[in-house]
Amino acid sequence: MLDWENLLQDDIFEIAGRKFKSRLIIGSGKFKSFQQNKEVLEASGAEIITVAVRRVNITDPSRENLLDYIDPKKYLILPNTAGCYTAEEAVNTAMLAREATGINWIKLEVIGDKKTLLPDMEETLKAAKILVKEGFVVLPYVFDDPVYAKKFEDIGCAAVMPLASPIGSGLGLQNPYNLIFIKEAVSVPVIVDAGIGSATDIPPVMELGVDGILTNTALAEAKDPIKMAVAMKYATIAGRLAYLAGRMPKRTYAVPSSPMKGVPFKE
């Protein structure tokens, strides 16, 4: 009998030599509590969780810490450089992140515009070059530009993370063709980052053949983040399986599914 429960058993998601079963990556921002974040992480099946690096509040150094809830031995804690607007800021933040996490992985973000939070590709590329030389595993948040995606691969980035739509917008997939072009242009993993609004936005993205998906706000702002996490877990699997299964061609007109011959009561 076909082991349909384990169809994805050998479909390994690999970044910089590290293997993952889940193609879903989640963020840790904007959750009600660390406890809720932990439950969402467990429910989602994700093995990678992003974090930010921020100043400790000196007047009230909080006793509670995200890492009291999320075990870095069990999950890959992927720090970001969110909030950085220049290559220099991002490189310095990455250095702090490396010391804080004890690993050399960085989700590189260099933002170019406050309103849209779109990346400054020139500064991002500049920072990526420096960080790759410093021995970082660099995963840059990028515009859905296949030409730039190739440049990031060429300088040694471990993956590229194009947006589906702006960060926190929940607009879902806006330009499937660019993501297809990016997937064709690079051989490093393509992880779609930003723009997912709900679990139902995930399958159309995964069906394009991209390697992974990252979401945060859609979980944190869901009415029930745990249910959304479970929905996203299955949505990611559904999208991946649909991609591997291969969709039928799209046609303008209907084609009957039942035989035309032998229809009863026909003269």
CB of 175 to another protein, least distance (A): 20
Residues from 44 through 73 that contact another protein (CB under 8 A): 50-56, 58, 61, 63, 65-67, 72
- Residue with smaller CB distance to another protein, 101 or 236: 101
107 is catalytic: yes
Based on the shown chain and the rule CB under 8 A, indicate whether residue 113 belongs to the binding site for another protein. no
Q: For residue 190, which of 223, 237, 148, 149 has the smallest C-alpha distance?
A: 149
CB of 210 to another protein, least distance (A): 18
Give the Cβ contact number of residue 188 at 10 Å: 18
Binding segment toward another protein, per CB under 8 A, in 14-22, 98-106, 234-242, 259-267: 98-106
CB of 167 to another protein, least distance (A): 7
- Residue with smaller CB distance to another protein, 25 or 237: 25
- Collapsing DSSP to helix, strand or coil, 197 comes out as coil
**Contact 140/160 with Cβ under 8 angstroms?**
yes
Angle between helices 121-133 and 146-154 (to 10 degrees): 20
Distances (CA, A) of 142 to 28, 81, 170, 201, 211: 20, 13, 17, 19, 15
Based on the shown chain and the rule CB under 8 A, indicate whether residue 133 belongs to the binding site for another protein. no
Structure tokens, 16: 């910089």
**Contact 138/158 with Cβ under 8 angstroms?**
yes
Structure tokens, 43: 């429910």
CB of 54 to another protein, least distance (A): 5
Based on the shown chain and the rule CB under 8 A, indicate whether residue 225 belongs to the binding site for another protein. no
Based on the shown chain and the rule CB under 8 A, indicate whether residue 165 belongs to the binding site for another protein. no
Based on the shown chain and the rule CB under 8 A, indicate whether residue 178 belongs to the binding site for another protein. no
Site string for another protein, 190-209 (x = CB under 8 A): ----x---------------
**Contact 212/191 with Cβ under 8 angstroms?**
yes
Annotated catalytic residues are: 107
